DNA sequence: GTCGGTCGTAACAATTACTGTTGCGACAGC
DNA sequence: GCTGTCGCAACAGTAATTGTTACGACCGAC
């Protein structure tokens, strides 16, 4: 499918910030999170920027700068994260319009669109059932 | 997401062959299907090749060559097509292993994997509920 | 047995998306 | 002012998808 890792990395960042704050720290830096996720700080800043626009995190600038949660992890679901960082739909239509003179070419897009809409709805419901608190608890419960 | 159109085009091809056979023809050529889907015949042959490997269509070579259904449209679901033409998972993990010394870096992949597995299961169930016969009927019911 | 039409498949180009990287201005506390 | 971080633009590398060309394999018709 050529899947991307944005939902994974964004969830990683949120869990990391949440845990870090529980350990008494005010803000987390993109550099710290990038080190945990083994990627570049700019990648983290890009994703956290999306999450900030969605109201899930806040950023502070200046010297004591960094990121903090805007809400409790228990009130954020993976659907919130998904909608914040995933732009497009799951399945694509034809890249060029099919032959409208052909019965199939004419009716296939509405037909498939109905199916895809239903599938996306179901996927959203599934993602909405998992909070970031659930994820963090699951992370902490992983044996080492 | 960078979604692809394979499920769409493959379904288009199956619906087209099905309808064409109902009109009394034995086989459909990739050139005819490509014309309806407004793409290149090789693209169609590639996808139908996947469907053939999955046992959904058959191909005949030689002069009267072309493609025909291996089963009734009513016995094929979109899940069959999805599994035949979609190689990878929906969501990707980190491209590089996260920091295993970090609690989050260590536990995040198993935690997210569990979620993703559940989501894919649900998606499969949803796709399995729709047969290609349903799709064709929906196509034919589309007003022009 | 040759011919003609189609499949099967490899190879390559064009486009696009994703990720990583560099660079630098903006900001705010010291 | 100085310092550390964000914000953001720009670009490179990689990979996937799709389109295209090319050509051999196949097989029925003649």
Query: For chain A, which residues make up each domain, given as ranges?
Result: 6-141
> Looking at beta carbons, which pairs linking B26-31 to residues 24 or more positions away fall under 8 Å?
B26/B64, B26/B66, B26/B68, B27/B60, B27/B64, B27/B65, B27/B66, B27/B67, B27/B68, B28/B66, B28/B67, B28/B68, B29/B65, B29/B66, B29/B67, B30/B66, B30/B67
Say whether residue A99 is in contact with chain B using an 8 A CB cutoff: yes
pLDDT in tens, A94-104: 999 999 999 99
For position A62, what pLDDT does the model report? 79
What stretches in chain A show pLDDT beneath 50? none
The first and second tokens of residue A70, run together, are 């805007």
CATH topology of domain B6-141: Arc Repressor Mutant, subunit A (1.10.10)
Q: What is the pLDDT of residue B1?
A: 65
Q: Is there a contact between B1 and A111 if contact means CB atoms under 8 Å apart? A: no
pLDDT bracket for residue B62 (50, 70, 90)? confident
Nearest protein residue to the C1' atom of C6, measured from CA: B65
């Amino acid at each position: 499918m050529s899947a991307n890792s944005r939902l994974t990395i964004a969830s990683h960042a949120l869990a990391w910030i949440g845990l870090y704050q529980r350990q008494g720290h005010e803000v987390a830096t993109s550099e710290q999170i990038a080190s945990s996720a083994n990627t570049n700080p700019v990648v983290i800043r890009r994703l956290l920027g999306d999450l900030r626009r969605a109201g899930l995190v806040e950023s502070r600038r200046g010297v004591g700068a960094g990121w903090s949660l805007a809400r409790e992890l228990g009130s954020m679901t993976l659907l919130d994260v998904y909608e914040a960082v995933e732009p497009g739909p799951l399945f694509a239509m034809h890249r060029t319009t099919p032959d409208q003179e052909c019965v199939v070419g004419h009716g296939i897009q509405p037909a498939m669109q109905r199916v895809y809409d239903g599938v996306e709805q179901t996927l959203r419901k599934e993602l909405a059932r998992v909070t970031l608190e659930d994820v963090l608890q699951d992370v902490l419960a992983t044996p080492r």
